[in-house]
């Protein structure tokens, strides 16, 4: 499939998921999607009939209290529900993924990595499948220093696709630079096939050469952004800022707010 075809399919899917679903059909439509994807409807905050479209259902909010945030001040928490694709060190400006595929952090982050000592740092890659909760939350209390949308392709980000081709630095993505008292993090939100929209709280998408500089603050666990279909995030910590949990292996399921690393920088 060509890039033109992939983008066209994404637009069609976006249009389709935005269509209004009659209330009497919503239980059938959304329930069928949930059974197909494996989504847990018991976690959804609203009644299933309250979602006007499949797109609205896809970015459904969870019931209050379902994802408690680790209270240890030294905990770096997962910003999403998902499956660990890779946890690795940053070496010679690259991160290593499955099957030995490496990615340049500079290409992945589109310039927002400038001024950070990344070699010797760490990177977490987490895949969000269609069954997962698709809102992204702050992994640490931080100021959103910069946001940059990078135009790109729409390949699938399913693990079996990442195993055989470059995707993370090719697909459309949004890069967030989060400045905290414990250090600065880069959070890369990677779009995918059927994912034409990545929304950041309080920030309008912009493909201008210069990044947007919102300066807004988010508490740890606060909603930061959302995907409007399944996708992947890459969280990058510079040297001396955070260390991954030793037991966090590829294939492990993680939940929003659970510990994925330990903060090393002084508060």
Query: How far apart are the C-alpha atoms of 104 and 6, rounded to whole Å?
Result: 24
What residue ranges do the domains of the chain occupy? Answer: 3-58, 75-263
Active-site pick, 10, 81, 134, 169: 81
pTM across the whole model: 0.91
Closest CA to 125 of 176, 166, 159: 159
* CA 93 to centroid of chain Cα atoms: 21
User: Count H helices, E strands: the chain?
Assistant: 5, 16
Query: How far apart are the C-alpha atoms of 152 and 133, rounded to whole Å?
Result: 24
Q: pLDDT tier at 208 (50, 70, 90 boundaries)?
A: confident
Please report which helix (H) or strand (E) contains residue 197, including its range: none
pLDDT tens-digit readout, 235-263: 999 999 999 999 999 999 999 999 999 99
Residue 116 near residue 213 (C-beta atoms within 8 A) = no
pLDDT tens-digit readout, 105-159: 999 999 999 999 999 999 999 999 888 999 999 999 999 999 999 988 877 777 7
Q: How far is CA 125 from CA 29, 101, 188, in A?
A: 31, 13, 9
Residue 118 near residue 90 (C-beta atoms within 8 A) = yes
Does 8 have pLDDT greater than 90?
A: no
Q: What is the predicted pLDDT for the residue at 155?
A: 73
Does 4 have pLDDT greater than 80?
A: no
70 part of the active site: no
Q: pLDDT tier at 195 (50, 70, 90 boundaries)?
A: low
216 part of the active site: no
Question: What is the 8-class DSSP label of residue 44?
Answer: B
Active-site pick, 10, 137, 156, 180: 137
Q: What DSSP string describes 172-209?
A: -EEEEEEEETTEEEEEEEE--TT---EEETTB----SS
Question: What is the 8-class DSSP label of residue 88?
Answer: E
Backbone angles phi, psi at 106, to 5 degrees: -65, -40
137 part of the active site: yes
Average pLDDT rounded to a whole number, residues 86-107? 86
């Amino acid at each position: 499939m060509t890039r033109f075809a992939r983008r066209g399919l994404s637009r069609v899917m976006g249009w389709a998921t935005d269509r209004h679903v009659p209330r009497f059909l919503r239980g059938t439509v959304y329930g069928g999607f949930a059974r197909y994807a494996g989504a847990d409807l018991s976690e959804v905050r609203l009644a299933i009939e309250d979602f006007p479209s499949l797109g609205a259902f896809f970015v459904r909010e969870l019931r209050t209290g379902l994802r408690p945030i680790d209270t240890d001040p030294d905990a770096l928490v997962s910003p999403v529900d998902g499956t660990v694709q890779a946890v690795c060190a940053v070496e010679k400006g690259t991160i290593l993924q499955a099957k030995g595929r490496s990615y340049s952090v500079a290409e992945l982050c589109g310039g927002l990595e400038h001024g950070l000592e990344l070699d010797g740092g760490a990177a977490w890659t987490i895949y969000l499948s269609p069954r997962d909760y698709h809102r992204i939350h702050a992994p640490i209390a931080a100021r959103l220093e910069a946001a940059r949308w990078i135009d790109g392709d729409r390949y699938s980000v399913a693990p079996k696709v990442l195993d055989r081709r470059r995707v993370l630095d090719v697909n459309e993505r949004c890069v967030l630079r989060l400045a905290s008292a414990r250090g600065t993090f880069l959070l890369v939100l990677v779009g995918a096939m059927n994912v034409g929209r990545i929304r950041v709280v309080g920030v309008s998408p912009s493909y201008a050469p210069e990044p947007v500089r919102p300066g807004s603050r988010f508490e740890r666990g606060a909603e930061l952004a959302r995907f409007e279909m399944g996708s992947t995030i890459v969280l990058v910590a510079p040297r001396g800022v955070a260390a991954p949990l030793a037991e966090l292996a590829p294939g492990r399921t993680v939940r929003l707010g659970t510990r994925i690393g330990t903060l090393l920088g002084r508060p």
